[in-house]
Structure 1
Amino acid sequence: MQLKDRNYQIQGVDVLAIADEFGLPLYVYDANKIIEKIGLLRSSFAGVNLKIKYAAKALTNVSILKLMRQQGVDMDSVSVNEARMGMLAGFEPSQIMFTPSGVSFDEIREAVDLGLQLNVDSLPLLEWVGQTYGHSVPISIRINPHIAEGGNIKISTGHADSKFGISILQRSDIRAVVDKYQLSVAGLHIHTGSDFKNADAFLRGAEVLFDLASDYSDLKFIDFGSGFKVAYKEGDHVTDVADLGRKVSEAFQSFCQQYGRELELWFEPGKFLVSECGHLLVRTNIVKENPSRTFVAVDSGLNHLIRPMMYDSYHDIKNVSNPLGDEKTYTVVGYICETDTFATDRPLPDVRPGDVLSFENAGAYGFSMASTYNARFRPAEVLVYDGSPYVIRQRETFADLMRGQEILEFEEEFVKN
């Protein structure tokens, strides 16, 4: 079926043709959208020495990491395994920021041995680094600025009760450990969470870091993390990145003049770069009319896209097969033996069994949070690059589900008397 509505094409490729070729359910990513977002960030911060560190946890497929590297973007990782994937994609260890949270010292040692840029987010870790490495390993220090803004509390990381970072109220304790071991502090870091609507939160965080920077004379960078808000539906308020770039750049340039030399300005966008590139294509199994509402049950669930259940996130849904059908109201649900509702009382063009639906803004924290719950396969992933679709992850099989399991042989079957 060829669609007249180009909204259901990716780089001129018919979405239904992609579904037919690769099967469903299926994650499809648009490389052009990622490249567009990278360009927007660069143009918005044109006046400073900007480094973009892609937060790989959002979408960790190695081909996506290679695309980031091709575009001159560095990488932020939260586990050594993420970093190893980045190295497979061609990143040098020095291009990878390692920002763990409460991991074992063994993993820290592994990261240092690999040559990653270590970001320290607790006083016990700072003390251990001092005891183990002294001044031989340059570090960054992650600060909790006690700024409570952003979206869902589960993705807000800069408030006073967050587990992330070292409280700004412990400033003197940080300095005491640094002085005790003569630690080499290369950078200061904050990440206050996602979904900031304007520059104010970044500027307040900047004030915290700029003031703290006076304690350290050999800094190379200031890292503001990320948190840019993207649109999930028409009319959503989004971060004005151009305005953010102008205001933060001015503040940063002023700071550098006072500091006495130019530093690098780092950002670690994840969702901002990949959210809008992603589409989760699913097929309608059943349309079930109940007295209270009409359910659309699809061949996917929280095992493929858990964000609506975990964060109450909104994902626009398109009826790819019948975009011009009469509008009706549906509750879209998955096939998992839990309540996995994607959308409640959502107006959609007439949905029929077999119709292909697309969950939009599915690039960030979609596949990367997917599971094999209910012994279901995780989907394949396809990247549309330069006008052609490419498989970048094969669909799982039963052999994948069984890999690593050892089947015990029991002597006899238990028989109830």
Structure 2
Amino acid sequence: MKNILPSPLQYKNNTLYFAGIRLDTIARNKRTPFYLYSKKTLRHYYEYFSKSAAKNGIVSPLVCYALKANSNKDVLSTLKTMGSGADVVSVGELKKALKAGIDPQKIVFSGVAKTEDEIRFALKCGKKGIYSFNVESIEELDMINSIAKKLKTRARVAFRLNPRVNAKTHKHISTGNKTHKFGLLKEDILEAMDVAALWTNTNLVGLSIHIGSQLTELNATIKAIEELSKLALKLETPLEFLDVGGGLGIDYTAEERSKLASIDTYMKAVSDAFEKYYYSKTDHCPRIVFEPGRIIVGKMGVLVSRVVRTKISDSNHFTIIDAGMNDLIRPALYEAYHEVLPAQTSKQMIKTDIVGPICETSDCFGTGRKLPKLNAGDLVVIDNVGAYGQTMASTYNERQIATEYFI
């Protein structure tokens, strides 16, 4: 697979198309802004991810799609029909996954603040409860054990290891260092294994890691798998699975496009790391679980907006659009880059700042971008919004949550 990942957007005769349909045709009679998703692109990435795992010799791979990236019901239903499981971090996400028909025995529950009600609900899903709780503290394990005892059942749990690695990503989405709130240190896990009172109604079935999001290089991933393998080999309990989390990135910028690890490169690195650090040292062969999010849905979606007006302030040119940071918070929160594309191209370009209607200076989608001179009512598209667009949206400034359309 090439590093340049497929997109549903394409220009034909200077006109922008989405999934083979003219954007202005799609937008006709639709209120802007709105999110627009391509089912073909979604299917492409899930199929490529799962097939690449098998092709690279991953043992019995289970793909648990991370709902936090995009929890649209049609997205979930499509992934369910393709065999996907789910990674959830709240009872709300769990209920959405179940409503989409995803088997509880393909669902892992992550997150540092699982409540009693959430744990109880997860234990009562289906006949056996969920596939596993990814436990992030000893206190959480104690709570799960206690609730399972009251329900006269047994809970399947996996320790989430904090492998103490620094992932090269934005500091707000790095999760694998000891200063982060996520996971347990190796020594704490080993100590908990000897506390009999924690295991009266729990079964340790796996170990997991997740070191961050928008990962574009794999050194930290390989190091985390090494630490995961070392811990697994120390445990006397035979494990059903080892969970490598998610986080594989997509290309938002030309720089990322040039250095981005492809899905195949990622799968080979995972396979080689487990062979080197785990399988070569034991006859035990647990399955590998993945929790991809952005890599599955990021490229399938865009945010469609219209120009409200333009404004000149001395040497500054502003293109004011009707989409705001409440619709896509990544640029304001992470200083993230997203391409802004006009529905019609032109050879005559100007430099302009693309800004939204929110009463915050940070409500800006790009500064000094080269775009045609746009007029009120013209359509623009903010690209790569399939992940962490709608799921992070808000009603700030009492604005409505934008509608999602699935092509």
In the TM superposition, residue 57 of structure 1 has moved relative to its aligned partner by 0.9
2:381 to 358, 368, 371: 358
2:345 to 307, 323, 331: 323
Partner of residue 58, structure 1: 69
Find the residue that maps to 2:111 and give its secondary structure.
Answer: coil
Aligned amino acid, residue 212 of structure 1: L
Partner of residue 261, structure 1: 284
The whole-number CA distance in structure 1 between the counterparts of 2:196 and 2:86 is 26
Q: Mean alpha-carbon deviation: is it higher for 280-289 or for 174-183?
A: 174-183
In 2 relative to 1, CA 6–179 (structure 1 residues): closer, same or farther, beyond 3 Å? farther
In 2 relative to 1, CA 100–178 (structure 1 residues): closer, same or farther, beyond 3 Å? farther
Partner of residue 33, structure 1: 41
2:52 to 12, 22, 44: 44
Aligned amino acid, residue 176 of structure 2: G
Aligned amino acid, residue 41 of structure 1: F
Partner of residue 378, structure 1: 401
The whole-number CA distance in structure 2 between the counterparts of 1:216 and 1:36 is 40
Residues 237-285 of structure 1, C-alpha deviations (whole Å, 9 max, x = no match): 3123212211221332452353323221111111111111111000000
Kindly indicate whether the alpha-carbon contact (under 8 Å) linking 2:84 and 2:102 is maintained by their aligned counterparts in 1.
no
Residues 36-57 of structure 1, C-alpha deviations (whole Å, 9 max, x = no match): 2122222332212211110001
In the TM superposition, residue 234 of structure 1 has moved relative to its aligned partner by 2.8
Segments of 5+ residues of structure 1 without an aligned counterpart are 385-417
The whole-number CA distance in structure 2 between the counterparts of 1:157 and 1:245 is 21
Radius of gyration: which is bigger?
Answer: 1
The whole-number CA distance in structure 2 between the counterparts of 1:324 and 1:168 is 57
Q: Mean alpha-carbon deviation: is it higher for 243-252 or for 138-147?
A: 243-252
Partner of residue 18, structure 1: 26
TM-score after normalising by structure 1: 0.87
Partner of residue 142, structure 2: 127
The whole-number CA distance in structure 2 between the counterparts of 1:302 and 1:338 is 9
The whole-number CA distance in structure 2 between the counterparts of 1:9 and 1:177 is 60
Segments of 5+ residues of structure 2 without an aligned counterpart are 1-9
Does 2:259 match 1:244?
no
Partner of residue 332, structure 1: 354
Does 2:154 match 1:154?
no
Find the residue that maps to 1:351 and give its secondary structure.
Answer: coil
The whole-number CA distance in structure 2 between the counterparts of 1:132 and 1:259 is 34
In the TM superposition, residue 168 of structure 1 has moved relative to its aligned partner by 2.6
Q: Mean alpha-carbon deviation: is it higher for 65-74 or for 121-130?
A: 121-130
In 2 relative to 1, CA 216–21 (structure 1 residues): closer, same or farther, beyond 3 Å? farther
In 2 relative to 1, CA 230–19 (structure 1 residues): closer, same or farther, beyond 3 Å? same
In the TM superposition, residue 216 of structure 1 has moved relative to its aligned partner by 4.1
Does 2:239 match 1:219?
yes
The whole-number CA distance in structure 1 between the counterparts of 2:179 and 2:13 is 47
The whole-number CA distance in structure 2 between the counterparts of 1:286 and 1:193 is 38
The whole-number CA distance in structure 1 between the counterparts of 2:198 and 2:399 is 53
In 2 relative to 1, CA 180–357 (structure 1 residues): closer, same or farther, beyond 3 Å? closer
The whole-number CA distance in structure 2 between the counterparts of 1:176 and 1:94 is 27
Residues 278-336 of structure 1, C-alpha deviations (whole Å, 9 max, x = no match): 1100000010011131111111211111110011110001011x212511111111101
Does 2:374 match 1:341?
no
Partner of residue 229, structure 2: 210
Output the aligned Cα RMSD.
2.0
Kindly indicate whether the alpha-carbon contact (under 8 Å) linking 1:325 and 1:350 is maintained by their aligned counterparts in 2.
no
Percent of aligned positions with the same letter in both sequences? 31
Residues 137-166 of structure 1, C-alpha deviations (whole Å, 9 max, x = no match): 111111111111131111111112111111
In the TM superposition, residue 179 of structure 1 has moved relative to its aligned partner by 7.5
TM-score after normalising by structure 2: 0.89
2:299 to 265, 269, 276: 276
Aligned amino acid, residue 67 of structure 2: A
Find the residue that maps to 1:192 and give its secondary structure.
Answer: coil
Aligned amino acid, residue 215 of structure 2: F
Aligned amino acid, residue 332 of structure 2: M
Aligned amino acid, residue 104 of structure 1: T
